[in-house]
Structure 1
């Protein structure tokens, strides 16, 4: 089987990330059951709560019946106070806590690893190939070469005398060191998979959760793929997966029985080659360095706002949320957004319209300037008509902030005559020209191109799919909920061990 032996790829996945963020924030003991709640539903469950039978999307009352001691923490809710000091009955959930925790984690990862692809808010692919090659030069004759103590190897034990196995061992050491740093410096546990390509690494990271890592040597790939339900493979869970099911197959091994010519007749040449390779554990896709969001979206689906008072309340809430995220991003990533995209959908028009403005520069009074320009633009836009069913604000087109001396030089440099131009307003006729908005509106069932999925949408797509899931009940009026838990954290525990067979039977994390 043509598995590349030169590459070493790791997939790192935070364990029950939303729940972990709340545990770290509140100082909850890691053995205490905890769930993140939105209104009456549960959207994140930590592992102690899972052991007690709690599942995602249980109702809060059901959780307390299954596990009376479970700590329920409500996701942060944004509201607007009225002049009398009371909260408006309208509220919107916020992912700020989780985005900020994710940014800190990725900042640490980038400090240690050069080639990082941010797959979602809580997972990343790491290309360790170059780091492994440098270490391998001095490790070839190391008689004490072993593997990380919290690592599980699928199949036979690794043989350091083999080049591909030695590479995985060194890659495992690098990954284990990174996970330890994330735990010690930030308080979060994560699981990881180490293999020779992205697909195998992602499969491996889910096998022995939580707080463990799994290695997939070349020698075990065929045995793994033969029994693996093909829907566990990334990019085979959507429309392509449905079409494969129509063949009457369930495992990757069963799909392997089809020749390339047969697959081409059914799925077309491009998809056929992808399926033919991927069910055999062959994945040539590169780790594309991408760790910073390309855009930031604050959006809200509305039941149909009928007047400017209602629209302005939501605009203030959305602009405030977006502005807070921009401030945090400027601090962490030292950059500024150049464009502000306003998207809206009228109840009588079956498409989303987007308009682009220059982002007000500088932090001084920027939120007020954003709101003023947004409101002024919408009031003179003929296509903005009531009722309004959707509002979205996007910060995009980021540029690095100049160093202080560069900024001074730019200020002192005279402008060429005739270079002063009025702000340009760009209009997008539909969501087709704004992929991030389109994906937000379509929901999680849209079918991606298996080879170009990552390039079609903004870096925040996975984040916003989670946001959509969180916000689906936002039309229910709610007030802030507060929860407390035990203080302190337990010492590191020996990770739970699992097996490949159990992974093949259980649902993914």
Structure 2
């Protein structure tokens, strides 16, 4: 089947609003209307997600807990409940599947949908997005924002335009103007380092970027130049892939104080292995290489891996392998401030072949 021309595609990007924090506020009415952060509030804790009441104070995901408390002294920290978030994510996925099977999840709280040819046979992608948002609200009690356009790049940017609980539609003939006004720092695929390099070259907006011919961009940005060149013109040919794969899946935890005792380290590793297995099962992939990460109190990082003839079968297998890797490093020269466990050399159980697709980052609400 020939690929649908980009201008004829109908792509929706759904992004849940402050997902983890919103689930906590939904499930605990005492938290509603208050500044809430999901994560660790200690000196080494990190904010996984912040409610919109907390964001008013500048609290953001990935921010150290200590800094978040200084910005918002009334901030309420809640420990993450990943099983609850996964359950809601599965509800949302089921709603998506009423409209299309071409779904590319980026994390528990966001996904691309190709609704060019959708199950209800609805011609309007805007109507589909409105229905999905309505169903999410009615069935989960949560809100979602949506971007609708002809490609993934613009749909994702559009979903952020009217947050929270917003909808933004960018039609094909509006794509170039939409990108012209977009700060390059907001373009998905332009990281902070690249944005600074662009700023040094006088490139601050999509309109500035469009002024640069492709050879000049290639001299400064190499292989990524073609994407930037197209982005400035509102072009993005990437398809929505219904089985977006990862190269690795990992979980790590930073401790409130350094840990050196074997028993305590193993207890923490067992919890990490359980969380990792939850992510492995959610991704519907298996892996043959287990990697242990240890960040010491002096910030040195140790990593040890073991490749297996067959993937681990459950969380206990993961823990056993991780424990062997950990014991081989004991006693540690100084206490550990962080432990992590990862699974790589992934295979899709339906394809049973190693996956070489670059890993997607996990986004928080």
Question: Do they fold alike, i.e. is TM over 0.5?
Answer: yes
| Structure-to-structure mapping, 1:18-57, within 5 angstroms | 18-27=20-29, 32-36=33-37, 38-39=40-41, 43=47, 44-50=49-55, 53=57, 55-56=59-60
Quick check: 123-132 or 33-42, which moved more?
33-42
Return closer, same or farther for 1:104/1:385 CA change in 2, 3 Å cut-off.
farther
Q: TM-score, normalised by structure 1?
A: 0.57
Quick check: 229-238 or 95-104, which moved more?
95-104
1:266 Cα deviation from its structure 2 partner: 3.1
CA–CA distance in structure 1, aligned partners of residues 194 and 89 of structure 2: 31
1:214 Cα deviation from its structure 2 partner: 0.8
1:337 Cα deviation from its structure 2 partner: 4.6
Secondary structure of the corresponding residue to residue 185 of structure 2: helix
Return closer, same or farther for 1:111/1:321 CA change in 2, 3 Å cut-off.
farther
Secondary structure of the corresponding residue to residue 7 of structure 2: coil
Q: Specify the alignment match of 1:394 in structure 2.
A: 342
Query: Could you tell me which of 41, 45, 69 is aligned with 1:60?
Result: 69
Query: Could you tell me which of 115, 118, 121 is aligned with 2:108?
Result: 121
| Structure-to-structure mapping, 1:144-163, within 5 angstroms | none
1:248 Cα deviation from its structure 2 partner: 1.5
Q: Specify the alignment match of 1:275 in structure 2.
A: 228
Q: Specify the alignment match of 1:456 in structure 2.
A: 358
On the 8 A contact 1:193/1:214 being kept in 2, the answer is yes
> In the alignment, is residue 251 of structure 1 matched against residue 205 of structure 2?
yes
On the 8 A contact 1:12/1:205 being kept in 2, the answer is yes
Return closer, same or farther for 1:311/1:242 CA change in 2, 3 Å cut-off.
farther
CA–CA distance in structure 2, aligned partners of residues 250 and 266 of structure 1: 15
1:252 Cα deviation from its structure 2 partner: 0.9
| Structure-to-structure mapping, 1:69-80, within 5 angstroms | 72-76=76-80
Q: Specify the alignment match of 1:6 in structure 2.
A: 8
1:345 Cα deviation from its structure 2 partner: 4.5
Secondary structure of the corresponding residue to residue 122 of structure 2: helix
CA–CA distance in structure 1, aligned partners of residues 107 and 285 of structure 2: 22
Structure 1 stretches of 5 or more lacking a match?
66-70, 77-93, 137-169, 402-434, 436-453, 467-508
1:235 Cα deviation from its structure 2 partner: 0.7
1:118 Cα deviation from its structure 2 partner: 1.3
Query: Could you tell me which of 211, 216, 222 is aligned with 2:170?
Result: 216
1:178 Cα deviation from its structure 2 partner: 1.4
* Structure exhibiting the larger radius of gyration computed from Cα positions: 1
User: How many residues are paired up?
Assistant: 341
1:39 Cα deviation from its structure 2 partner: 1.5
Secondary structure of the corresponding residue to residue 181 of structure 1: helix
CA–CA distance in structure 1, aligned partners of residues 71 and 13 of structure 2: 34
CA–CA distance in structure 1, aligned partners of residues 205 and 278 of structure 2: 47
Secondary structure of the corresponding residue to residue 343 of structure 1: strand
Secondary structure of the corresponding residue to residue 362 of structure 2: helix
Q: Specify the alignment match of 1:482 in structure 2.
A: none
Q: Specify the alignment match of 2:127 in structure 1.
A: 173
CA–CA distance in structure 2, aligned partners of residues 42 and 304 of structure 1: 16
Quick check: 344-353 or 276-285, which moved more?
344-353
On the 8 A contact 1:9/1:127 being kept in 2, the answer is yes
Q: What is the CA deviation profile of residues 96-116 of structure 1, one whole-angstrom value per residue up to 9, with x for unaligned ones? A: 544444344334434542111
Q: TM-score, normalised by structure 2?
A: 0.77
Q: What is the CA deviation profile of residues 378-435 of structure 1, one whole-angstrom value per residue up to 9, with x for unaligned ones? A: 54x4x6662375533335646659xxxxxxxxxxxxxxxxxxxxxxxxxxxxxxxxx9
On the 8 A contact 1:344/1:384 being kept in 2, the answer is no
Secondary structure of the corresponding residue to residue 10 of structure 1: strand
Return closer, same or farther for 1:243/1:119 CA change in 2, 3 Å cut-off.
same
Q: What is the CA deviation profile of residues 114-151 of structure 1, one whole-angstrom value per residue up to 9, with x for unaligned ones? A: 11111233211111112189434xxxxxxxxxxxxxxx
What is the RMSD of the two structures over their aligned residues, measured on CA atoms? 3.8
On the 8 A contact 2:99/2:118 being kept in 1, the answer is no
CA–CA distance in structure 2, aligned partners of residues 55 and 300 of structure 1: 20
Q: What is the CA deviation profile of residues 197-254 of structure 1, one whole-angstrom value per residue up to 9, with x for unaligned ones? A: 0111111111111112110012322332222211111111243323222211211101
Return closer, same or farther for 1:275/1:328 CA change in 2, 3 Å cut-off.
closer
Secondary structure of the corresponding residue to residue 456 of structure 1: coil
Q: What is the CA deviation profile of residues 304-358 of structure 1, one whole-angstrom value per residue up to 9, with x for unaligned ones? A: 654xxx244223223234325636875x78x685646141448698652211355
CA–CA distance in structure 1, aligned partners of residues 180 and 156 of structure 2: 17
1:372 Cα deviation from its structure 2 partner: 4.8
Secondary structure of the corresponding residue to residue 172 of structure 1: helix
| Structure-to-structure mapping, 1:321-360, within 5 angstroms | 321-323=272-274, 326=277, 337=286, 339=288, 341-345=290-294, 352-357=303-308
Secondary structure of the corresponding residue to residue 282 of structure 1: coil
Q: Specify the alignment match of 2:93 in structure 1.
A: 106
1:256 Cα deviation from its structure 2 partner: 1.3
Secondary structure of the corresponding residue to residue 298 of structure 1: strand
On the 8 A contact 2:287/2:343 being kept in 1, the answer is yes
Q: What is the CA deviation profile of residues 351-383 of structure 1, one whole-angstrom value per residue up to 9, with x for unaligned ones? A: 522113556647xxx63x65555445654x4x6
